[in-house]
Structures are given as structure tokens and as C-alpha cells.
Amino acid sequence: MGLSDSIKQRLRRWTLSMTGDDLDERLKGHRSQNEYGVDPFGFSLDYALSAVGPLVWLYQHYFRCQTFGIEHVPAGRVLLVSNHGGQLPFDGMMIGVALLTEGKPPRAIRSMVEKWVGSLPFVSTFFSRVGQIVGTPENCRRLLHNDEAILVFPEGIKGISKLYAQRYQLQEFGLGFMRLALETKTPIVPVAVVGSEEQAPAIVNLETVGKLLGMPALPLTPYGVPFPLPTKYRIYFGEPLTFAGRPDDDDAELEKKVKVVKASIQSMLEKGLAERTGIFS
Amino acid sequence: MSAEGAVVVTGISGNLGRVVAKLLHRTERVVGLDRRPFPGKPKDVEHFQIDLRKKKTEEVFRRLPVKAIVHMGIMHDPRMSAEDHHSFNVLGTTRVLECAAKYGVKKLIVLSSANVYGPSPENSNFLSEEAPLMAASRFPSVRDLIEVDMLAHGFFWRQPSVETVVLRPVHIVGPTIKNAPSNYLRLKRPMRLLGFDPMVQLIHMNDVGEALVAALTPGLKGVYNVVGPGEVPLSACFSELGAAPVPIPHPLARSLLGRLFKFRLASYPPEELDHIQFLCMVDGARWRSESGWRPRLSMRETIRGVLSDLA
């Protein structure tokens, strides 16, 4: 539904022309698919390869993404924990494209989306077909048991709706991801995205108005809408961190562990900011 | 099951009741209880045309040794008055539970439904048996179905001498089944909600019948989700069945269906739209591992089974 077949085929060819023809072959068997071409969560490789075309183009030509340390992402279950910013989740999409096109081997990652996404027409269907699911602890647990790679933004809404003045200052991290990592013995790969937090410089956050519209936040840029500017993206993958401990420990204990992850992301961010010559180059 | 005594099947005249009767009557003494007649009943099945709420129900238990009950005498007809509905389902179930406790029945199987969890945009993709039963929060008229499930669940804890099994199967489909999902999937030009294509789980009535029989296995007890051959996008069911759905924006669809239902032009109320908009899927792993039951039909056969008899 939605995309007609010929457009779908054309998009798919476009994707493969940018990523190399063998991408679909290399991804086959990556997830179980039934006779209708979907996995139990609704992911469809066919649909994803068509849908991801514009994102691959953004990755290569618009944000001109550069990745560092992608070989640190281990095979099997892993939690990718990243900073979050830029009003629209292009950071998540670019991390996804990075692992899809440059991962060794390529893998389609999952990310946990806000619960309200499930009530949005088109968006909910699109997310489901490309493998993104509503972020409940049960969903996350189940996917980790299936040895998936999951991207989480522990800053959540507070992160993505940061104002320009707060760029690259990590907001408070939720503890949920650490509980799940301990429970499922999952390594954590810290990820730092440099570039995303300047793409849509927000000057005010009209939270109250946003709430009225059913949105969790409503940040405004000088030009109103959060249209992303072509900032240069640098994506850093840190070495995997493994933690031991009880998942039902006191928050204080978990916070200590979360701080280690946060510090690792912060230092990669600082390194990335120091290394670059400009926001757009 | 080999011990002495009959297997009482309530709601035996319905589609599933007949499937269960057919599966059981050669090996068990089957006694049917239903207020409807049972045309075409196998000769060796005894049928009592009585209302479960009536005193006569107890008489059956007093007269016969009963070793097991399969309770399916639960209805869901949105056209029925809420009062009648509630009384039939809740009082009927209460009566059955009373008899099970009083007459030393060893096994009680209650057919509930995965719909008790209720569709919601916030649902996890696969709900476990521990998930709260939220269906009535958006759709109050399913309240009595939840009550039936909880009565049975409570009985499971209160009466450890009775092996109680509560089965919560996903949407049951079949050529003669008249529930909302089957009726909906039989439409040539069904309404669908623009921009929504949730994953759905279907199970064929024959597979549910076999699950109910598997639940009779001595030793098995508990609350179980029963999942059929898997999950598909709703749109895949339409293409499999050759239907041409009409996309309608959801706010419009709700008011439209509300009006159609009020004037008796549609057979389901607008709350049922949640099922074609949001997720209500369950995890059936526990049932599979503890019962050994597997669906016989593939996803394709199950979907096609909405229209035609597979035989």
C-alpha cells in the first residue's frame, strides 16, 4: 500500500545504485521473513530498500556523513547509545544508514520510537516496515533476545528539542537502557553524532502550544519550521562497554554506570568538535 | 483423556463448538449445552437445549459424571442489549464455574480472546499473558468479555483442584464464522484507515478447535495466548483475498461508521476501528511450549480460510 509498485522498484534501484548492487543479497537472511515478506514486527526488506533511498542520498550528498570506528559495533545483540538533537531525528536515520551501508557486515538496526508515533497515519506504517518500533521495555527486551542492534537516545524528547545554545550538552539520561543492558547482557556502543545538533537551530521551545497540538515539544527556528540545514555529519562509534550488575539495582547504582556511557559520548563529541574545521565542512 | 466421565461443551451449536464436537465425539462422551438447537449433530453427542443461566444446567451435572468442561458459551454481538449480553456471559460463566467446583470436575477450559488486551498505539508488539486487560477502556461494551476472562482467572487461583485453562486466541476466522474480523475480511470493498496498516494475527477456527482439545491434556493449566501461523500486515490479507479496500481518513471513518451503525447499516460499532488502526498482537510462546500444540494451517491457508471451506 502507499507506494505504487513501479515507484517502489525505481526507488529500490536508486538505493542499490548508491550502496552497491549486492546490498540486498548481503542483507537477506538477516531477519526472518514470512511468505508475505515481513518479519513478526512488520519489517520488510523490500520496502526498506525502497524507502531508504532518499536517506542514503542525504547521507552521501546532503549531510556528507563520515563515520569513525564503525568496526567497534559487534555482531549480535548491541545497544547503540547516542546523543540526540536537531529537532527532527535525522541523527537516528543517519546512524541507521551508516550501519546499513558501511557496517561490517551491513545490518538494519532498530530504533525505539516515541509512543505517540503509533497514532500517526503513514508515519506509523512507514516506521513499522523499515523496522522501527514503539519504545516499550518489552519490545526492546524481545529484540535484544533476537540479537538485534538497537539504537536508543536516552536524552529523549529533551535531547531532540534542545535549543541552539544547548547544542552538544548532553541532557539527563534515562536509566531504562542500562537496566535492559544488564538484564540481557548486552554490550553498549556509545555513539556521538557531530553536525546534527546545528542542523535546525532552535531559538524557542513553545512547549505549551505543542502540548495543545498533541506534540511533546514545539521548538522554533529563526525560519520557523525545523528544516535541516546541510551541516556536515561526523558519526563516532566508541568501543563497546560491558557492564555487570543487577538490573533491579538502586537508581544511584545504575546512574554510576550510565555516567560512564555519558562521559564516553561527551568525550567523543568534544573530540569531534575539536577536529572539525566548520559546521558545514 | 481417558478417565471416566463426559466432556461438557457449552456453546456447542456455534462454529467452534461443532469443530470441537467433531474432534472429540469418537473418543469421548460429549454432552452439549446450548440454548440453540444443534442441527447435524453426530449421533453419539448428547445435546441439551438449555440456557446456561437456568437451574437445568446444574441438573445435567447432577445426573452425569462430568470430567471436563469446555466453556465457549460466550457471545459477542454488539446489536444485543448490553444488559442481556452481560447477563448471558457473566451469569452463564458463573453458573458453569459453580458446577465445576461443586461436582468435582477435573478440568475446565474457558475460551476467552486476545481482544481482552485491546488495541492501542502504545501497545508492545507482542503482549504477554501478564499484560493488563485494557480493552474496555476504549470500548466499554467488551467489558463483560473481560469479566468472563477474569472470573475464570480468579477460579484458577481459588480452585486448585480444578485444572483451569484460559485460552486467549487471536482473531478467529473461518468461512462460517460471523465475528467482526471474519465479516470484515469477507467484504469486497472494505473501509480501511488511510495511512494505517497494522500487523495482525489470525487463527483458523479448526486450529482453535485443536487447541481447545489440546487443553484437555491432564496436567496442563494456566492462562495462555494462542497465536496462529504468524503476523501479517492487514493489507496483505486484502491482497490475498482480492479485496479492494477504500482508504478513509480515520476521524471521518469514526463518525461515518458511528452513524452507519446507529442506523443499522453497519454491523460493527466505530470502536472496532481500533483493530485496523493499532496493534493488538500477543506472544503465544508459552502455550506452544507447554502444550506442544502447533497450528496446522499456514498463514496463506488461514487467510483464504475466511472465504472458503478448506475441508
Domain ranges of chain A: 5-275
Q: Of the given ranges (A211-215, B94-98, B216-220, B251-255), which has the lowest mean pLDDT? A: A211-215
Which chain B residues are Cβ-neighbours of A36 within 8 angstroms? 232-233, 236, 299
Q: What is the DSSP letter of A200?
A: S
Q: Do A42 and B194 touch (CB under 8 A)?
A: no
Residues B125, A38: C-beta atoms closer than 8 Å:
no
Whether B311 is covered by a domain: the verdict is: no
User: Residue B301 is placed in which grid cell?
Assistant: 491457508
pLDDT at B243 over 80: yes
Q: Tell me the pLDDT tens digit for each residue of B124-164.
A: 999 999 999 999 888 887 888 999 999 999 999 999 999 99
Is position B152 within any domain? yes
Query: What SS3 state is found at A112?
Result: strand
B199 to chain A, any CB pair closer than 8 A? The answer is yes
Residues B67, B1: contact at Cβ < 8 Å? yes
Instruction: Residue B93: give its domain's CATH number.
Output: 3.40.50.720
Distance CA B36, CA B12 (A): 9
**Where do runs of H (alpha helix) occur along B242-310?**
250-262, 285-291, 299-304
DSSP string, B30-45: EEEE-SS--TT--TT-
Summary mean pLDDT of chain B = 93
Residue B111 sits at the vertex; the CA angle it makes with B300 and B31, to the nearest 5 degrees, is 110
Burial call B234-266: b when 16+ CB within 10 Å, e when fewer:
bbbbbebbebebeebebeebbebbeebbeeeeb
Look up residue B311 and give its three cell numbers: 475441508
How many A-B residue pairs are in contact by the CB < 8 A criterion?
83
The reply to whether residue A40 touches residue B299, judged by beta carbons under 8 angstroms, is no
Hey, are the CB atoms on B124 and A139 less than 8 Å from each other? yes
Which residues form the domain of B84? 6-304
C-alpha angle A127-A133-A134 in degrees, rounded to nearest 5: 115
Indicate whether B1 belongs to any domain.
Answer: no
Specify the CATH class of A5-275 in words: alpha beta
- Among the partner-chain residues B195, B199, B235, the one whose CB lies closest to the CB of A121 is B195
Q: What pLDDT was estimated at residue A1?
A: 45
| pLDDT at position B122 | 92
DSSP character at residue A58: I
Q: How are beta strands A234-237 and A188-194 bridged, if at all? A: antiparallel
Which residues 112-131 of B are in CB contact (within 8 Å) with A?
Answer: 120-128
Cross-chain residue pair B236–A122, CB shorter than 8 Å: no
pLDDT digits (tens, 9 = 90+) for B60-118: 999 999 999 999 988 887 777 888 888 999 999 999 999 999 999 999 999 999 999 99
Residues of chain A with pLDDT under 70: 1-3
User: What is the number of alpha carbons within 13 Å of residue B150 lying toward its C-beta?
Assistant: 15
Query: Does residue B311 have a pLDDT over 50?
Result: no
Overall number of domains in chain B: 1
Q: Extract the C-alpha cell encoding A69.
A: 570506528
Q: Tell me if B235 and A1 make a contact (CB, 8 A cut-off).
A: yes
Mutate to test the interface with B, among A36, A125, A132, A146 (most CBs of B within 10 A): A36
Q: Do B122 and A124 touch (CB under 8 A)?
A: no
Chain A residues with a Cβ under 8 Å from any Cβ in chain B: 1-2, 34-36, 38, 40-42, 115-125, 128-129, 133-134, 136, 138-139, 142
Per the CB < 8 A criterion, the answer to whether A58 and A90 are in contact is yes
With respect to residue B269, please indicate whether it lies within any of the assigned structural domains: yes
Q: Is residue B310 part of a domain?
A: no
**In the prediction, which pLDDT does A184 show?**
95
| Number of residues that make up chain B | 311
> CB neighbours of A40 closer than 8 A, spacing ≥ 6?
A32, B125, B126, B199, B230, B231
